[in-house]
Every structure is written in C-alpha cells, then in structure tokens.
Structure 1
Amino acid sequence: MTSDQHQHTAGDSVTPAECADFLEQIVYFLDNELDEADCAVVRAHLDTCNPCLERYDLQRTVKAIVARSCSESAPTELRAKIMMRLQQVRVEIRES
C-alpha cells in the first residue's frame, strides 16, 4: 500500500509516517506489552485508520494461526525420522 492509498477518517491529522510508528506498536499491543495509556492511543488510532486496522487484523490472525500450529504435535513417524536424522548428524559431527 502506498501512502496515497493510506486513508484516514475525515479530520484525522495522522500522517503515514506516524502510522508506521503505530504498526510497530501493534505487535506489542497484541502481546499485551503496552501500558494502558499506550493501549488507548493505539486503539484510538485503529478506530480512525482502516489500513492500520487491516494490518492489525492480519497480524492478529497470523498470531492465532501460529499459536494453534505450535500446539499440535508432529506425527509419531515424522518425529522418529527427525530423531534418527539428528542422531546421524551427531555421529557425523563427532567423526569430523
């Protein structure tokens, strides 16, 4: 998205450069690592900036998918193949 496409609501004075700052904070916002005052600022920006809101939604979705994927276990056969390959690499390293 170019800065020409970065549209805010009427009367909003936020520049695309300021949006870049908010986009950096979105990661911390998603991880609940901002204090309440900073959270309020980010929420207010997301309420007025559709492109940033879309990026927030995308990041939130990706984070949820990754979290779900990380909780699944690999199939037993795959785990056995990986463990065998790791053992082979250990032997190769010891022999070199």
Structure 2
Amino acid sequence: MSCGDPHDKDCSEVLDHLYEYLDREMPAGESEKFQVHIDECSPCLATYGLEQAVKKLVKRCCGHDDVPSDLRSKVMGRIELIQAGEVVSEASVRDQAAREQAQREQAAGAAGSGSAAACADGDAGDARPEAARAE
C-alpha cells in the first residue's frame, strides 16, 4: 500500500510493523520515524487508529486472561514459514491449538477457575451464533 506521497518510510513498511509500534517494541529512533509518517499520511493514520481501537477492545475484553509466554514466538515462527513458502495448514494450526489448550486445562487442575470470561454474552472461544454451536 502507498498513499502516493513521498515519505521517509514507505506505507507498506509502516503497516508491516504497525503492531511493533503500537506495542512500543520498536527502537526509539524507528518509533519517531513511524510517528512522523503516521502524522503525515492519512491512510496510515486511519489504519493506525483502527488497529489501536482493536487492541484496546481486545485488552478490555481479554486483558485479564494470561497469554502463554511463547505465543509471540509461535506466531512469528508460523508467519516466517508462510513467508518462506512453506504450507501451514489451517487444520494443523487448529490441532496444535487444541492440544495446547487441553494441556493448559489439565495443568489448571480440578480447581478449574473458568476465568476465561467472554467479552459479550456467549462463549468467547466460539464466535459462531448459538444455533450453529448447538449443531
């Protein structure tokens, strides 16, 4: 993506690293360049605003749930495999996620706090309408 205006940072580079910027995981010098670009580029500013809103919503709805410490490395590893042209089937990702969820639940033990609260009414783990889940 490019807005057509000249910038020190290309729009596609800004958008590729937007979450690093949002999460403040970017070195200070790079962060300043991103801020300048976002201030100058209305399409990137709009995307930034949308992603920032999504991040706030996720934090509000799920911020109290513990995130596995190795989640980032797993996600980045899968992204790298896909970028390298390797096939990562959706089924294998789902199967791996199900195994890991079962391990976490087993580790939680019989106490079963059930603290994975849904953001809205319904089950946060399944976004399908209730009728579809009942099938």
What TM bracket, shorter-length normalisation?
0.5 to 0.7
Q: Give the aligned partner of residue 7 of structure 2.
A: 14
Q: CA distance change for structure 1 residues 50 and 36 in 2, over 3 Å: closer, same or farther?
A: same
Q: Of the two structures, which has the highest relative contact order with CA contacts closer than 8 Å and spacing of 6 or more?
A: 1
Q: Give the aligned partner of residue 94 of structure 1.
A: none
Q: Give the aligned partner of residue 47 of structure 1.
A: 39
Select which of 40, 43, 58 maps to 2:50: 58
CA distance in 1, matches of 2:55, 2:26: 17
Q: Note the aligned Cα RMSD (angstroms).
A: 2.8
Q: Give the aligned partner of residue 28 of structure 2.
A: 36
Mark the runs of 5 or more structure 1 residues left unpaired by the alignment: 80-96
SS of corresponding position for 1:46? helix
CA distance in 1, matches of 2:39, 2:60: 28
Identify the structure with the greater helix proportion: 1
TM-score (norm 2): 0.44
SS of corresponding position for 2:52? helix
Mark the runs of 5 or more structure 2 residues left unpaired by the alignment: 65-114, 124-135
SS of corresponding position for 1:32? coil
Q: Percent identity?
A: 30
Please list the CA deviations of residues 31-68 of structure 1 after superposition, one character each: whole Å capped at 9, or x if unmatched: 11001100100000011100000000000000000111
Q: Which has the larger radius of gyration?
A: 1
Amino acid at match of 1:66: V
TM-score (norm 1): 0.60
Q: Is the 8 A contact 1:29 1:39 kept in 2?
A: yes
CA distance in 2, matches of 1:32, 1:48: 20
